[in-house]
Each structure stands twice: as structure tokens, then as C-alpha cells.
Structure 1
Amino acid sequence: METSAYPTRSPLWVAPLPLQQDGTRRINSVLIANRGEIACRVIATCRKLQIKSIAIYADEDAVSRHVSEADEAINLGSMDNSDGNPFLNIQLLVDIALNAGADAIHPGYGYLSENSRFADAVRAAGLIFIGPSSSAINTLGDKREAKEYLSQHEPSVPLIPGFTGSSSGIQLEDLQVQAERIGLPVMIKASAGGGGKGLRIVRDMSALESEFNRAQSEAQRSFGLSDCIMEKYIEAGKHVEVQIMGDSHGKVISLWERDCSVQRRHQKVVEESPCAWLNQSQREAMCAEAVKIGELLKYEGAGTVEFILDVATGNFYFLEVNARLQVEHPITEECTGLDLVSLQLFVASGGSLESVPHLQTIPQNGHAIECRLCAEDPQRDFAPQHGLIRVWAPSTTDSRENVRFETAIESGARVSIYFDSMIAKIVVWAPTRSMAIQRMARILSDTVCMGVSTNQHFLQACLLHEGFRRVDYTTSFIPTNLESLLKSPTSTAPVPSAALEAEEDANGAAVVTKAYNALSASLRAETLPNSETFSIKIHSLQTRRLDFGNGSGCEMGRIEVTIGRNKILGFVATGNHISNESDTGDFTRIFCHFPAIGTPLEYHCYSVLSYYESQRVAIAGGPASTGSINAPMPCKVLQVLKKAGDEVKTGEIVMIIESMKMEITIAASKDGKFESNVKEGEAVNEGVKLCSFN
């Protein structure tokens, strides 16, 4: 058990900005061409260096924390306008930076961060682009260019078999021939960008063309470029990446590696540093290869060289270079003690890495883990979620030293369909891997996020799974163990069709049968009494009204619940008044968070003493016999693949929708004639009928 003497490391070292010959600094104000938690992260370092921060935001993101934390915030308009995504509008962003008097632009990650046209436009306007040169972005930031360049100039770098096509991209007529040459399964992925967007695995030739088209479509929307490449998909390997930093004087250094093998749909979920599977000679060899690639390009700024590592042989193969700061950079910061954003600003100002004593010998101390908290429902195939964050309360039960919550949300924020589903990064550091795992699991269980479904319990399940504790886990960890990772924290007790009626005994306690009890069923089995009935007492310790400033709000409370001899403390939140009185007849949703469970549970209730568990509508919108499909979340209709009256079979894809930048296919729930009133490009709310089969 940890005590107040829990080991900690020193605060991150912040690189001071170099001065010019006249004693002034090149960078005094920075426009952050991004949003959310990465904007907050850049703002934090700017504040330490006394640099003015300028944020941008869309109408749908107006209450995000980065807007209030920046020294200045500029509105971009709506995400749903005829000119497209404003975060991808190069000229708009450059004009805003110039009008705001910015000296430099930090691109963050995603959006235009690896777009050479954006870097060129920034520099052509006389501004500093905080990132690598356009030639480096074109050569290494683009996966096609990177593979072709390395095969010509550094043939010793091991490459995965694949097909990059011509300079104009892969043509449809080449797809099948090259896929047969490479051998299934193959991976189709966007040449630009990352984050699992524009990436598809093909295991059947019949799906090759459709998956290629979907990869191109996602890539275009996410990065402004539809170009894709194809390569052999290695079924079971580790995804290990090396953080590099380069300056304008030709110096490139390694900041060691990260293991990012816990992935879902090719998007990272849990990352850790160092990679516990590597021995020191393997680690040094991989880092040396990354530095060699950086030096070859005279790379400037922060970059990540990604490898796929075959745990059976110990061999590693080059995947790609991400010419930007990565989402998971905090775990490198925690182990090296270096503020990477400050180093980005340092080299962008012309600083020499060779001149910095802190960088002559870079440590790799302790162990750090990052978990990505996402607004998604693991029980519904990780469908993106949206809505009001009723309560956001990061864990306070543990020491917050060496624990980081990187987020732009707070109580009252809204999760929008227009943005990525990641709402927070939780980062911990500890002296050992086992201590870091235990600490992260506890932090996750104690953190309260109520209002939208998240992957909070799923993250805990990953951390505490035997497969993760073994250091040889691979990118197949989640697919292989999905069933056990998805086990709900609630029991499989039958759910009644109406609210459970709890009758009070002489002592004022609610007495319910063991057949169904939402609270007791949620506790771990070994903590439950053996009796057939349980006595529940709910004692409201405190309640307060949260006003979100837009006419809405919620009532939240901290409650103590006694179940038999067991007493637990938790939180509840609802849109209505919290009461432990008798049934009022006012139907509402209520959210309960108990650390013993580790995730919020959502209930429909008539009073705090009478619950029945909320049963969300499945993706098919209800029983197959109804023959209708409702929107599982607010979304945009991308494609309607059938015409009214078309005969369809059960399981046949009839429509493609998009939510939170992820494409979701809708399949027929029964045989019949297709009917739909929605149109391509139409935005629909959750629960709206998408189509039916008669």
C-alpha cells in the first residue's frame, strides 16, 4: 500500500527560449491551430515561458477549456458550414494568425499538423511554423514518400512489404493485383496523418475496393488528403515508437521509446514507457535507427519514428514517421523529465540542442502509463457518444503528484459529434511498472465522469488483465481478449420491465430482493452478503446545483450507501432534483459513480430508492421484427447505398453514417424492401429513424 512517502520525480525541465543578438526573443506569441487538450497543453507551456497564447475555436466548441485558458481566443464559425471544416482551412488560419499579431503557429496533432502546404503557407506569411521543414513533412510525414526515400537513400532500414503506387496514389485497377502479390491480410492506410483515421484491414478480396474507398473518404475528411498506401498487415507484433527531437543545426537526439501496442481499431488506447519487453541492446539499436533516419533528413522539431516489433524474432521494421508531437508524448516527458513542448519552441527559435546540458545525457527513469478516456460505449461496439458532461471530477483520493489529467473538459462541457471522441488523457508515473499499473487503475476508478458513456471501466479491465501484465502482449491484445475486457461491472441479474419498487421497513431502510438490485449487483461478488435480501440506506451527505450558464444545469450529490453491512461512498447526478422521497412519477436519467465499481452506471429512475438499469437501444434500433433502424447517436448520413423499394437481405450494408470522425456501417436488420426518408449529408439526432425494411 502506498503512503504519503510515495516516490516522486522532479517537475519537468522547461527549456528557456534562446535570445537573438539584440537580446530579444523570436517567439513572443503563438497561435495554436488546434483545439481541446493539446491546445491546453501548449497553452500551459506558453504560460511558463511568458508567451502569449492565442486559441481558435468553433461555435460547437465555445465552452471548451482551451478557450478560457488562452490569453486570446478567436472564433472560426460553425463546423457545419459550406466551406468545410474550419480547422482545415489553411488561408483562414494564416489570416487569423497575422491579424492577431502571432509570431508563430503551433499545429498540435491531427488536422493540418503534417500538411506541408500549411507549413509553406505559414512560413510564406513571415510566421514561424513550430514543426519540421516542408521537405521533411513531404518526405517523412507522407508514408509513401518516406518508404520510397528510405529504400533509395538508407536501404539498411527494414521495410514492411507493401505497395505505394505512383505519385498520384494507388489506382483501383492496381488494388487486387498488388494485394495478391503481398498476400492477405493487407492494411490500407492514409499516406498523411495518423490516429487510426483512414485505416482499414482487408482479409477478403471481395471487400478490397469498398474498404479502399472508405479509407480514402476518412483520410480526406480528417487530413484534407485522400491518398492511401497498402502494405502487409502483421497480425501479432508490438507497436513501438521512438521520440526524436532535431534542431536547425543538424543535431537529432533520441528521447527513448514508447510501447503503444494496446490498440482498438488501430487507435491507441493505453501507452507506456519504457517498453518493458525490450532489452537494453534492442532499445539502443531501435533508437539509433530512429536518429539515423532523422539525421538523414536534417529533421527539425519533435517527431516520432514508429516500428513494428516481431516478438517471436526480436526483429523490428520501419512503419512511418509522424512529423509532429504525438498524443502520447506525456509519458516520454514523465520518464525523461523534459517538457517536450518547450523543446519544440526552443528549436523553432533557433536553439541548439548541443548547447543544452540537460540533453547531453537523457535519463529514462521509472515507468509511465497513459490512458485515453474516450466518449464511447464499449458495450455497443465502442460507438461514439455525445452530450453534456454533468460532472467531471478527476480523482482526488490519491496524491496528485506525478498524475496528469490532460483535458479540455469540465462539468458543463458538451461532447460534440464534430470532434474526436477522446475527452481526456490520464497519465501516471511511478518507480516501477507494477506500481504504475496499480496507481493508474486506482486513479481511473476514483475519477468521476458522468453524463456520457466512456471507456473508463474498459481501460481498467485492460490494465488489470493478465495479458497486459505480461510484457509480451501485442497489438492483438484487445481483439484476442475482447470478451473478457467487455465484461460489465454489473451482474447479469434479470432487468425488470418497470422500476423496482422498494418498500421501507420500520427502520426506514429500503428492502429489496436479491432477484434484482442495481446497487448491490454492481459491487464485486465477494463483497456481497449471503442473505437473500439486502437493506439499502442512502444518506445524502451534500447536494449542490451546477449551473452551466446556458439555462441548463444539473443537481449533483455525494451520497453514502449502506448495503447490508457494506458501506460505500459515491456520487450521483441528474437533470432533476435529487430526492430520497417516495416515487414522484417524474421519469428521468440518473448517473451513479461508485469507486468500488470504477465507472458510472446510468439508470432510469423515479426516485433515488427505485432504479431499473438503462437499456440503450442497440445499433439495429430494436428487435428485428420491427424492421427499423434508428440513429444510435447524433450523426451525419454519408451514404445511402440502397434506393427505396430495393430488396435487401439481413446483414446487407444499406447506409454509412459518421459520428466523431468515425464511419459506422448500418446493416439491414431483416429481409425486406428498403425505405428511408433521410438524405446523404443530412445531420440527424439520436433515435431518429434512418431506414426500415417492409
Structure 2
Amino acid sequence: MKTIKTLLIANRGEIARRIMRTARTMGIRCVAIYEDEDAGSLYVREADVASRLANGFLDQADILRIAAEHRVDAIHPGYGFLSENAEFVAKVEKQGTIFIGPSSAAMKRMGEKTSARAEAKAARVPLLPGEEIEDATKLSEKERTALVERIGLPVVLKAAAGGGGKAQAIIHNMAEAQEAFEKVIREAARLYNSKSLVVERYLVKARHVEVQVLGNAAKKNFSLFDRDCSAQRNNQKIIEEAPAPNLPPNVRAELHASAVRLADHVGYSNAGTMEYLFDPIRNECYFLEMNTRLQVEHTVTEMVTGLDLVREQILIAAGGETEYASVSVTGHAIQARICAEKSDGTYQPSTGIIETYVEPEGVRIDTGISQGSEVSGKYDNMLAKVIVHRPTRDEAINLLAQKLAEYMINGIHTNIPLLIQLLKDPRFGEVSHYTRYLQSEFEPPRYDSDTAAALAAIMLYEEERRAGLARYGTLADFTNTPQAAR
């Protein structure tokens, strides 16, 4: 086993704090990196040492310089930024530093959608009809049209690199084709410096399901079960749960088997996620892509398995060969992502100073903000994650809605009203929602966050009163003034 005494966390915010929390329990010293906007952030203050970045989180040379300067043993990338950049991982390896994640070779094979489709096909993993285009800028309008016609409408265009729903477009009719190609080609170049696209058949009412895999240092992979991430807005997840509800047993078994088969095929090691689209009409799953990193929603898998995935990542990177075949699932976990944006269906980002910040008690909160934090438009607008774990899905849904209603964030708009309304939506409860449900059928709240907080508190009071648990004697005792955390 290799020794990891000092760890550089090449990320910020809640995931930097999450990694730091586990590292401390393992006696590992943590080095944080930051830009000027984050100088006073929680993760910077909590690190053992913090070093300022000259040009941001994508400056590979600067991060490697800081790693050498502090003589770190390992680098954890978190998610986003350089977490799936095989070129960066190769440089880390060349420098003689441990990368907490897969090898650069495995990442290169699975990190781009074009190569991942080829590997999935070789591993006998079901794929949607589609084609990979190495240089989409060379396609003429006539060739674009022919490509869409070969696959059959509707189709989805996706940048081969990256993820998180970015650089994507859906073509419902041929009149949209040229504009969609131009948009995705432009965004792929801007975001990923890539010309490669994947064009696939689009399932109109599909669910997004995924399998958490964990490969030990001997490159033996295990399934840590499944998650459902169908509740999305603008192709980005906002509610995730484990295990995935209402999956036929044979579909679930094949999901796990195909995920492990593909991970073993590419010699994968460490944490990764195989994403699939599930067609509930045909009861079939199709491979979508692999995320060669820790997922934002790794939390729900931790809750139902009892594992600390960051700890396992570090142990595996150090040479650990633990086998995970005996891990089982207990109960149901759901996570909601609180984002700085309007809840009215426009998803307009919100910026400003957090004037009031009070977390609910009794549940897991992963966040990088506190009272007085400034929310800018420079980074992803996720503020916090609320994670609950209960014996049943219905209990988990109810508890999450209650805790979201208790969460107090004032000074900016948040999507808390939308999250509560979605959790209470019958379609979510019966698992008949799908990846584009919010855009197509869901009716978003028509009131702002402050009104929502008051309404939610009243609803919570009524529920507790009926159960004999009300914390207020009468509604006259209720105030919307921030209270000390209970």
C-alpha cells in the first residue's frame, strides 16, 4: 500500500469540504486551492493550508506547481473542472503523484462519448441507434440531414467530451436540424475544445438510471447498485434517489451485470458511474455514457450502502484490493440539489449575498456556503445538497419535503419551492415522471422563495398539529423571522 499523508483537493465548495471531511478522519493533511472570490469560503478556512490559483481551476500547470510546492502525495479532483481530463491525469501520473480516480488510460477510453460507445459495443452493452462523428465541422448541410434521417427522428446531438447536459440539442423535426448542429458544434468547441459529436436516437419519455461501480486496485469491479436521476431541468439533475424505483428485477440485474462487464473490459479502477436510459414502455435499458469520477449524487449510494465512497476512493488509489460483493442496500435515500435560481420555470440564475442561512436538523447537508457568503454567476449555481434516508421511498419523500420547507436561505432566489412541489407531485410519487417532465408537463410554482417559505412553514405546522407535534401553540406564534437552529 502507498502512503497518502497530504492530499490536494483540486476543487471548491461543497465537494472540497466533503472530501476534506473524510480525509481528516484518515489523518490526511488537506491542501485547498482557490481563486480570489473564494478567499473567505468555508472550504478555504477549513483546509490545513490553502494556495491561491493564478488562473483558475483549469490551469493544469499551476495546480501541478502547487502540488509539487506542498509535496502532496495525491490529488483528488472532485467533479467538474479537470476531474475527467485524461491529459491532466497523465501529467499527475508523470509527476509521480497519486490521482484519486481511474488511470489516464481508462479515462481516455471511457471519458469521451464516441470511444465509450465503441467500448460498450465491444462489451455487449445495449446502445441506442446512433453514430459518432469525429469532426462535425466537416459535415455539409446535406450530410447532416442524411445522418438524422438514417437514425430516425427524434435524435439528440451531444458533444463527445464533457457531460452534465451541456452542449446538447434535441431535433424533433428536420427544420430544427441545421440550427441544432450549429449550436452543439459551437458549444463543444467553446466548452471542451472538441469537434466530435455523438448523434443518437432520442427516447421521448425515458428515465435516467445509473449504476455506481467501484473497481479496486486489482481492477476488479463491483456494482454498488443503482440510482434514478430522472428529475432534471435543462438536462441537469435536481433530485436523485437510490435505489432506482420500479425497475423490473431482470432489468436491474442486467444493469448491474453490464456495468461491471464494461468497467472490467476497460480495466477500470476506482469510482465511476455507468449511465443508462430506461424505456419503461419496452422495459429496456440503453447505455448512455460513463462518468469517470465521483458523482454529485454519490451521497445517496453512501446512505443506502453505509460506505464512505471518498474513503474507498483513497484506499483504492493507495493500492487497496477490497472486494465489495457483500455490500447490500438498506432503505431508500433521496437527494435534492438546492440551486440559486428562480423556481418559476425560467430557472433564471440568482446572485447576491446570503443574508440568512439556517439548515434543517436531523438530515445530511453537503454545502459550501454560510450566512454572508456571496453567490456569483462564475461557478455552478448549486448551493447545497439535502440528503435523507428512510426505510421506504414514501417516507423519504415526505421527510425531504419537510426538511426543504425548514431550510432558510434568504438574500437570493432558490429552487426550494420547485423541489417541494415536485416531491409532492403525484407523477413523481408513482414514478411516471421522465427526464423532460419538468419542461413538458410539470407546472412550476408561481410564487417567490419568500412566499414559498411562509407557505411551507404553514403547511408544516398543519401537518405537525394534526400529528400532535406542532412546535407552535397557534399560528399567531409563528414568525418568518430567522430562528436559531434547533
State TM-score, norm by structure 1.
0.64
Please state if 1:189 is matched with 2:158: yes
Instruction: Flag the 1:99–1:472 CA change in 2: closer, same or farther, 3 A.
Output: same
Counterpart among 74, 77, 98 of residue 104 in structure 1 = 74
Shift of 1:566: 4.5
Q: Alpha-carbon deviations, 1:179-208, whole Å to 9, x = none?
A: 122222221222222111222222243443
State the 1:43 CA deviation.
0.6
In structure 2, which of residues 61, 65, 70 is the aligned counterpart of residue 91 of structure 1? 61
Q: 2:447 aligns with which of 488, 494, 507?
A: 488
1:678 matched residue in structure 2? none
Give the alignment partner of residue 159 of structure 1, picking from 127, 135, 152: 127
In structure 2, the residue matched to 1:250 is 219
How big is each residue's C-alpha offset from its partner over 1:639-676, in whole Å with a ceiling of 9 and x where there is no partner? xxxxxxxxxxxxxxxxxxxxxxxxxxxxxxxxxxxxxx
Secondary structure of 2:303's match? helix
Aligned to 1:56: 33
After TM superposition, the structure 1 = structure 2 runs for residues 312-351 of structure 1, keeping only pairs within 5 Å, are: 312-351=281-320
Residue 171 (structure 1) aligned to one of 131, 135, 138: 138
**DSSP-derived class of the 1:201 partner:** strand
Richer in helix (by share): 2
Unaligned runs of 5+ in 1: 1-19, 79-85, 493-517, 528-559, 574-694
Q: How does 1:538-557 map to 2 (within 5 A)?
A: none
From 141, 166, 169, the equivalent of 2:111 is 141
Q: Which amino acid aligns with 2:67?
A: A
State whether residues 172 and 209 of structure 1, in contact with CA within 8 Å, keep that contact through their aligned partners in structure 2.
no
Number of aligned residues: 471
Post-superposition shift, 1:477? 2.5
Deviation at 1:226, TM superposition (A): 5.4
SS of alignment partner, residue 264 of structure 2? helix
In the TM superposition, what is the alpha-carbon distance from 1:381 to its structure 2 partner? 0.6
Once the two structures are superposed, residues 369-427 of structure 1 have per-residue CA deviations (whole angstroms, 9 ceiling, x without a partner) of 0000000112261011111111111013xxx1xx2111100001111111001111111
Q: Cα 1:490–1:457, aligned 2, differ >3 Å: closer, same or farther?
A: closer
Quick check: which one's strand share is greater?
1
Q: Aligned in 2, Cα 1:395/1:364: closer, same or farther, shift over 3 Å?
A: same
C-alpha contact (below 8 Å) 2:4/2:73 kept by paired residues? yes
Aligned to 1:451: 411
Paired letter, 1:279: P
Query: What is the alpha-carbon distance in structure 2 between the residues aligned to residue 352 and residue 405 of structure 1?
Result: 31
Matches within 5 A, 1:260-299: 260-299=229-268
Equivalent-residue separation in structure 1 for 2:179 and 2:258 (angstroms): 36
* Cα distance in 1, alignment partners of residues 449 and 215 from structure 2: 50
Is 1:426 equivalent to 2:386 in the alignment? Answer: yes
Hey, what's the Cα distance between the residues in 1 that align with 2:9 and 2:192? 17
Name the counterpart of 1:363.
328
SS at match of 1:41: helix
Aligned runs of 1:387-466 on 2, under 5 Å?
A: 387-396=352-361, 400=362, 403-466=363-426
Give the aligned partner of residue 167 of structure 2. Answer: 198
Match 1:376 to one of 341, 344, 347: 341
Q: Distance in 2 between matches of 1:523 and 1:257?
A: 36
Deviation at 1:237, TM superposition (A): 1.0
Write the letter of the residue equivalent to 1:379: D
Deviation at 1:175, TM superposition (A): 2.5
1:394 maps to a residue whose letter is: E
Alignment match, 1:633: none
In structure 2, the CA distance between the partners of 1:282 and 1:340, relative to structure 1 (3 Å rule), is same
The answer as to whether partners of 1:305 and 1:322 remain within 8 angstroms in 2 is: yes
| Aligned residue identity for 2:356 | V
Q: Is the 8 A contact 2:160 2:196 kept in 1?
A: yes
Q: CA 1:224/1:64 → structure 2, altered by over 3 Å: closer, same or farther?
A: farther
Match in the other structure for 1:118: 88
Could you tell me how far apart the structure 2 residues matched to 1:519 and 1:340 are? 37
Aligned residue identity for 1:60: E
Report the alpha carbon displacement of residue 71 of structure 1 after superposing the two structures with TM. 1.1
Instruction: Give the secondary structure class of the aligned counterpart of 1:113.
Output: coil
> Residue 9 of structure 2: which of 32, 52, 65 is its match?
32
CA distance change for structure 1 residues 520 and 333 in 2, over 3 Å: closer, same or farther?
A: closer
Query: Which amino acid is the alignment partner of residue 339 of structure 1?
Result: D
Is it true that 1:73 corresponds to 2:50 in the alignment? yes
Root-mean-square deviation (Å)? 2.6
Work out the CA distance in 2 between the residues paired with 1:414 and 1:519: 24
2:347 aligned with 1:352, yes or no?
A: no
Could you say which residue in structure 2 is the equivalent of 1:239? 208
Query: Partners in 2 of 1:423 and 1:219 — Cα distance?
Result: 26
- Which sections of structure 2, spanning at least 5 residues, go unmatched? 463-471
Q: Structure 1 residues 99, 519: CA separation in 2 closer, same or farther (over 3 Å shift)? A: closer
* Inter-CA distance 279–28: structure 2 relative to 1 (3 Å threshold): same
Q: Which whole-Å CA distance do the structure 2 matches of 1:97 and 1:164 have between them? A: 37
Residues 335, 429 of structure 1: 8 Å contact kept: yes
Higher relative contact order (CA 8 A, sep 6+): 2
Q: CA deviation at 1:73?
A: 1.1
Report the Cα distance in structure 1 between the residues aligned to 2:374 and 2:10, rounded to whole angstroms: 21
CA change 1:44–1:198 in 2 (3 A) is same
Q: 1:374 to 1:329 in 2, by over 3 A?
A: same
Residue number among 428, 438, 444 corresponding to 1:468 in the alignment:
428
Aligned residue identity for 2:5: N
Deviation at 1:75, TM superposition (A): 1.0
Indicate if the aligned counterparts of 1:258 and 1:273 stay in contact, CA closer than 8 A. yes
- What SS does structure 2 have at the residue aligned with 1:263? strand
SS of the aligned residue for 1:87 comes to coil
Alpha carbons of structure 1 residues 149 and 250: separation in structure 2 relative to 1, 3 Å: same
Over 3 Å counting, the alpha-carbon distance change for 1:566 and 1:264 in structure 2 is: same
Partner Cα separation in structure 1 for residue 239 and residue 266 of structure 2: 30
Amino acid at match of 1:75: R
**Percent identity of equivalent pairs:** 39
Corresponding residue for 1:568?
478
Larger Rg: 1
For 1:380 and 1:287, how far apart are their aligned partners in 2?
35
- Partners of 1:521 and 1:110 in 2: how far apart? 33
Give, in angstroms, the shift of residue 63 of structure 1.
Answer: 2.4
Tell whether the 8 Å contact from 1:193 to 1:322 is kept in structure 2 after alignment.
no
The Cα of 1:170 is off from its aligned counterpart by: 5.8
Quote the residue 1:662 is aligned against: none
| Partner amino acid, structure 1, of 2:286 | Y
Kept after mapping to 2: 8 A contact 1:246/1:253: yes
Give the 3 Å change call, closer, same or farther, for CA 370–521 of structure 1 in structure 2. Answer: closer
For residue 142 of structure 1, what is the amino acid of its counterpart?
A: E
